[in-house]
Structure 1
Amino acid sequence: MRKIFLLFSLTFFINSFGQTSTFDNLLKEHVNNKGIVNYKNLKKDEAKLDSYLSYLNKTSPQKKWTPSKTKAFWVNAYNAYTLKIILNNYPIKSILKIKEHKKDAWNISFAKVGGKTYTLNFIEHEILRKKFDDPKIHVAVNCASGSCPKLGNFAFTEANYETKTTELMKNFINDAKRNKISEKKVALSKIFEWFKDDFTKNGSLIDFLNTYSETKISKKATVNFLKYDWNLNGK
């Protein structure tokens, strides 16, 4: 019995590693260092994406998994299904154009994980945000739009989740196209307005920004928010 269990565990590990590598390779092939997706070429590789989605449909996160492994799994699922819904409607200028039975892309039940069907909103808000006190989730999940934090050209894993999300947060906050920061004035992404509570659990919003900002921001700095660009993050 022990040998059977070990064999099953090893088989699952190899399959999981292989499928995550498939998604990782797709992102490396079709997403550049600025987070811009070549959807036209990705469409040609859609069968590989579908293979990864099939793996997700057959896989349920385990209670024994570490938080980093669980977050990596769900973030990858969110991003993979976001790419899928874009490809299902491609060519398209914005994810906001996607509608099904009067529901937008985030509220369509189509993301199959572990034999259950979810919406993107459920994965983000009811699983990732609700179960984990981790504001870096907001640079991990990607909404396929210009003002989103850039989509990383890699898959998340248990080993890289913390370092990669830290890198993405630093990149996002110091990206002048997404946040305009000076000592006395900041104009921020709407993400910091929409999800302010996530960023201020351990201090002020300025405190959070200063953890990652290359420019030291005064605690008395004025704070405004920028218009969000919903154009597709593609060529």
Structure 2
Amino acid sequence: MKNSIVLILIILFSSCCNAKKIAQDTTKPIQESTVLQEQAVTEIKTDTHTIVIEDHKEVATSKTKVLPLPPKPPKQIESSTFSHKRWNTLLQKYVSASGNVNYQKFKTDKTTLAIYIDELAHNTPKSNWSKNEKLAYWINAYNALTIDLIIKNDPVKSIKDIKDPWGQKLWELGNKWYSLEDIEHEILRKMDEPRIHFAIVCASYSCPKLQNTAFIASKLETQLTTATKQFLSDTKRNEIKENSLKLSKIFKWFDKDFEQTGSLIDFLNKYTDITISAKAKISYKDYNWDLNN
């Protein structure tokens, strides 16, 4: 009997040990699985963090490699808002009331002049511009480009010291290259406004004086009349009497322009205080090509 009890206890003990071993074996894979899952989660989190970091790095890198944008071309301006203010400021600074031009001062401010010419280049007259808008544009352009020509060839005593000063196509306005001759003869003279000859200035002493304000469409009629009267009343350029005239050669070179609606004397009588006889004797003064400085 005693032996039977001992045998039963041995069997029970063995069963408990086996059950514990099985339980341990069963628990181990579960724990390992849990660890693996935690590691996977960590790796996923780590990968995500790495991606974020890499993304930030890429953004930062891209910022350091961004190149500056090229300068924008001058804005094209509608004719009704196009301003010659920059040119007007230059004229006020460097041209006296009597028309003497300080070319050396212009030269020190050549960047501003270049900007104005660039504005002209990107805002050439359109078909819907009025005649006065076109006239003002081309008169100002001619005068600005003439000064540009002089200061780029400095030092000179006369515009004639420059090789072919009026024939060189030196300026690109819009998509076309222009010379001073192109502007004067192919554009301005074809607009049937003879008074342009007293508004455009060839940088010479015998030329009409360079006005020290820019021409603008809204005041053009008054400005052209003023320039014409000033030139005719200047006794260094013209001597006008009732029966005799000593005129600038401008009236000889461009006589057809002044005879569009009558004779030359008819034209003169509109802008002088002296009534000139239709039979007045006409002669012409020598032209002084020295710089108008």
* Same fold by TM-score greater than 0.5: yes
What's the RMSD between the two structures over aligned residues? Answer: 1.4
- Cα distance in 1 for partners of 2:114, 2:100 equals 21
Indicate yes or no: 2:251 matched with 1:186: no
- Contact preservation (8 Å) 2:172, 2:178: yes
Greater shift, 23-32 or 112-121, is seen at 112-121
Superposed CA deviations along residues 158-199 of structure 1, whole A, max 9, x for unmatched, are 112111111000000111000001111100000000000000
Amino acid at match of 1:12: I
1:26 and 2:90 aligned:
yes
2:150 is equivalent to residue 90 of structure 1: no
Task: Check whether the contact 2:76–2:123 (CA below 8 A) recurs between aligned residues.
Answer: no
Corresponding position of 1:81: 145
Is 2:117 aligned against 1:117? no
Whether the 8 Å contact between 1:136 and 1:166 is mirrored in structure 2 is yes
Instruction: Tell me the secondary structure at the aligned position of residue 147 of structure 2.
Output: helix
Compute the displacement of 1:67 (Å). 0.3
Match of 2:289, SS state, is: coil
Aligned positions of 1:151-190 closer than 5 A: 151-190=210-249
The residue that corresponds to 2:271 in the other structure is 212
Q: How many residues align?
A: 218
Deviation at 1:60, TM superposition (A): 2.0
Partners of 1:58 and 1:115 within 8 A in 2: no
- In 2, Cα distance between the equivalents of 1:216 and 1:33? 28
Structure-2 residue corresponding to 1:43: 107
SS of 2:245 mapped into structure 1: strand
TM-score by length of 2: 0.72
The sequence identity of aligned pairs, in percent, is 44
CA distance in 2, matches of 1:137, 1:36: 19
Residue 214 of structure 1: how far off its partner (Å): 1.8
Structure of larger gyration radius: 2
Q: 1:194 to 1:210 in 2, by over 3 A?
A: same
Q: Distance in 1 between matches of 2:290 and 2:179?
A: 21
**Partners of 2:260 and 2:149 in 1: CA distance:** 33
- Deviation at 1:11? 7.2
SS in 2 for 1:160: helix
TM-score by length of structure 1 reads 0.90
- Post-superposition CA distance 1:115-134 (Å, at most 9, x none): 3211110111011112x111
User: Which stretches in structure 1 are left out of the alignment for 5+ residues?
Assistant: 1-9
| Structure (1/2) with the larger helix percentage | 2
Q: CA deviation at 1:16?
A: 2.8
| Corresponding residue of 2:259 | 200
Structure 1 runs (4+) deviating above 6 angstroms are none
Distance 2:269 2:82 in 1: 37
